[in-house]
């Protein structure tokens, strides 16, 4: 039983570790959004920081659909022109949400190319990772989506909480691993991974039950094999 308990605890710890984001916030201060670009060399290059959600998200969406311009806007710090040339540009955008983001009393997060009917919009051709950094995106207006992901978008959203609906077009390449307290009927749940705490708990319990079942089966087979071996020994005598 001690071995079984140890196995269960190991699985729980591994599952918890997988749920924690590996990417830290890129910049400190009171920034609301920090936008970086992932280069072909695998490194992250700072594009810009924003202290206003609406302006920052509109520019983030633009950069996520115009990676060449995002690369031109990157801050290279101490990199030489030769080192910059070796990177050959960006593959996608990483945006980090550094503070809680709440919609206004009308359920709107903003206006512009980064918003659709007031929801945070990820348009077609956008290539981005959205790290919520354990913050909350909240739309308290019932019946309105907090996030709208369009067809053709490539987006990963993780490590935080979304209050309100998440609409994902069936033709979007979306991987979403966030806690949610509600989702509108239009949410494409097949593309949502780890939605809420209940599915995560079910997954953990499933793993634990499977592990216990295998352990008990092995233990039972060992006990069953022992008398057989003894009987064989007596027959040989």
* pLDDT tens series, the chain, 237 aa: 555 545 554 544 443 333 333 344 444 557 999 999 998 888 888 999 999 999 999 999 999 999 999 998 887 655 677 777 777 889 999 999 999 999 998 899 999 999 999 999 999 999 999 999 999 999 877 678 899 999 999 999 999 999 888 999 999 999 998 887 544 333 333 334 333 333 334 334 444 444 444 344 434 444 444 444 444 444 454
- Token pair of 88 as six digits: 């050959």
Greatest extent of the chain over all pairs of C-alpha atoms, in Å: 89
Please report, to the nearest 10 degrees, the dihedral formed by the alpha carbons of residues 16, 163, 61, 170 taken in order.
Answer: 80
Is 149:167 a contact under the CB 8 Å cutoff?
A: yes
- Nearest alpha carbon to residue 101 among 57, 60, 150, 143: 57
CA distance 154 to 151: 9
The residues near 208 (Cβ < 8 Å, ≥ 6 apart) are 8, 11, 12
Specify the pLDDT at position 9.
47
Specify the pLDDT at position 33.
97
CA distance 183 to 46: 33
Is 135:153 a contact under the CB 8 Å cutoff?
A: no
Pairing between β-strand 90-97 and β-strand 173-180 as defined by DSSP bridges: unpaired
Helical pair 197-236 and 2-19, crossing angle rounded to 10 deg: 150
Q: Which helix (H) or strand (E) holds 166?
A: strand 165-168
Is 165:187 a contact under the CB 8 Å cutoff?
A: yes
Q: How many CA atoms lie within 13 A of 106 on its CB side?
A: 7
Residue 162 has a CB neighbour count (10 Å cut-off) of: 27
Residue 108 has a CB neighbour count (10 Å cut-off) of: 16
């Amino acid at each position: 039983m001690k071995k079984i308990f140890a196995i269960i605890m190991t699985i729980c710890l591994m599952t918890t570790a997988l749920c924690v984001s590996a990417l830290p916030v890129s910049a400190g201060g009171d920034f609301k959004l920090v936008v970086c670009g992932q280069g072909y060399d695998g490194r992250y290059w700072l594009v810009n920081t924003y202290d206003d959600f609406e302006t920052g998200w509109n520019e983030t969406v633009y950069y996520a659909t115009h990676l060449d311009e995002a690369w031109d806007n990157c801050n290279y710090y101490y990199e030489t022109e030769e080192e910059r040339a070796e990177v050959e540009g960006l593959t996608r955008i990483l945006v980090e949400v550094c503070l809680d983001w709440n919609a206004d009393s009308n359920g709107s997060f903003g206006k512009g190319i980064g918003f659709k009917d007031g929801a945070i919009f990820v348009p077609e051709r956008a290539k981005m990772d959205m790290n919520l950094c354990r913050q909350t995106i909240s739309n308290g207006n019932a019946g309105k989506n907090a996030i709208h992901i369009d067809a053709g978008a490539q987006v990963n959203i993780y490590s935080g909480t979304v209050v309100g609906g998440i609409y994902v077009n069936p033709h979007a390449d979306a991987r979403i691993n966030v806690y949610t307290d509600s989702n509108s009927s239009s949410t494409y749940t097949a593309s949502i991974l780890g939605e809420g705490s209940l599915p995560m708990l079910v997954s953990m319990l499933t793993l634990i039950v499977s592990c216990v079942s295998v352990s008990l089966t092995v233990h039972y087979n060992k006990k069953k094999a022992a008398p057989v071996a003894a009987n064989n020994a007596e027959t040989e005598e």
